[in-house]
């Protein structure tokens, strides 16, 4: 199972919006609405930010939103804040009954 | 409050074995599938294995199939990962996470470090 494709890095200034893409195939992202996004700060465990493509867990800021079109899912962060600087990973369930992560995207807040 | 605590990591020689444990609390353990996810030093996340709530179904990434065995003891609220035939490529921080198929990884432990080296 190949990893989902994410950009290695993205950046934005405080207050701006950024979008991180996550491209898979018709066997994973395109087949199921079980796409989730995780935030990981250095030295910390990952934290669930978005699940089932576009749902936010309780306690996650409304600045975080998710969407999907075909085989590509996206995470958008609006009103960037310094605390958003972290690594972000997408994840999808697959037709092989496995889960696959993206390679990760490092977000830099300028 | 959900709490996941991994243990059992350490230094092991290539070809050796190790058994990881994950003690769970704060939720009805037997109702949820559980997973192991690893992260090699400086690298991204890799899903490793999962097990259904009742323990009757298990799933593995191709990279560990035939070498790793996931299991659980619902009477002890504990998840396990038996790792055999370890190689340097298995060196990673191993996280226990609640969730798998139609349920996201909503809670994670802090991880236990496995180092495979001679």
So what's the pLDDT on residue A105? 98
So what's the pLDDT on residue B102? 83
The strand pair at A35-40 and A47-50 is best described as antiparallel
Please compute the mean of the pLDDT values over residues A55-63 and round it to a whole number.
97
Please compute the mean of the pLDDT values over residues A90-95 and round it to a whole number.
96
So what's the pLDDT on residue B101? 84
Residue A1 confidence (pLDDT) above 80: no
The burial of B64, by beta-carbon neighbours within 10 Å (0-12 exposed, 13-18 middle, 19 or more buried), is given as buried
**Mean pLDDT estimate for chain A:** 97
Contact A45 B45 (CB under 8 A): no
Rounded CA-CA distance B67/B78 in Å is 20
Local structure of residue A80 (DSSP, 8 states): -
| Run of H or E including A9 | strand A9-12
The strand pair at B34-39 and B45-51 is best described as antiparallel
Residues in CB range of B41: below 8 A, 6 or more apart: B91, B92, B93
CA A50, B57, B112, A106 torsion: positive or negative?
negative
Contact A45 B100 (CB under 8 A): no
Contact B105 A38 (CB under 8 A): yes
**Mean pLDDT estimate for chain B:** 97
Which residues on B lie below 8 Å from A105 (Cβ)? none
The candidate with the shortest Cα–Cα distance to A100, out of A78, A80, A71, is A71
Q: pLDDT category, A109, cuts 50, 70, 90?
A: very high
Residue A76 confidence (pLDDT) above 80: yes
Q: How many helices (H) and strands (E) does chain A have?
A: 0, 9
Tokens (6 digits) for B82 = 């038996």
Q: pLDDT category, A30, cuts 50, 70, 90?
A: very high
**B44, B60, B101 ranked by CB distance to A93: nearest:** B101
Please compute the mean of the pLDDT values over residues B9-31 and round it to a whole number.
97
Question: A78: how many CB neighbours lie within 10 A of its CB?
Answer: 15
Please compute the mean of the pLDDT values over residues A2-16 and round it to a whole number.
96
Rounded CA-CA distance B91/B22 in Å is 18
Which residues on B lie below 8 Å from A89 (Cβ)? 44-45
Q: Is B80 in contact with B68 (CB distance < 8 Å)?
A: no
**B37, B104, B111 ranked by CB distance to A51: nearest:** B104
Q: Which residue has the tokens 């609006």?
A: A78
Please compute the mean of the pLDDT values over residues B20-42 and round it to a whole number.
97
Q: How far is B50 from chain A (nearest CA, A)?
A: 8
Is B95 near chain A, with CB under 8 Å?
Answer: yes
Rounded CA-CA distance A98/B67 in Å is 17
């Amino acid at each position: 199972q190949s990893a989902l494709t994410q950009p290695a890095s993205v950046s934005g200034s405080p207050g701006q919006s950024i979008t991180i893409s996550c491209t898979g195939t018709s066997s994973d992202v395109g087949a199921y609405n079980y796409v989730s996004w995780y935030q990981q700060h250095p030295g910390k465990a990952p934290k669930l930010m978005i699940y089932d493509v576009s749902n936010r867990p309780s306690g996650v800021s409304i600045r975080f939103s998710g969407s999907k079109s075909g085989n590509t899912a996206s995470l958008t962060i609006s009103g960037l804040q310094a605390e958003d600087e972290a690594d972000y990973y997408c994840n999808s369930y697959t037709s092989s009954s496995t889960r696959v992560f993206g390679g990760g995207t490092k977000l830099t807040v300028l | 409050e959900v709490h996941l605590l991994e243990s059992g990591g350490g230094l092991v020689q290539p070809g050796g074995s190790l058994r990881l444990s994950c003690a769970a609390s704060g939720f009805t353990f037997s109702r949820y599938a559980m997973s192991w996810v690893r992260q090699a030093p400086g690298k991204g996340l890799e899903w490793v294995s999962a097990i259904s709530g009742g323990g009757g179904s298990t799933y593995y990434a191709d990279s560990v199939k035939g070498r790793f065995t996931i299991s659980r003891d619902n009477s002890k609220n504990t998840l396990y990962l038996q790792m055999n035939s370890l190689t340097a490529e298995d060196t990673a921080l191993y996280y226990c996470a609640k969730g798998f198929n139609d349920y996201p990884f909503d809670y994670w432990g802090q991880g236990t470090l496995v180092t495979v080296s001679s």
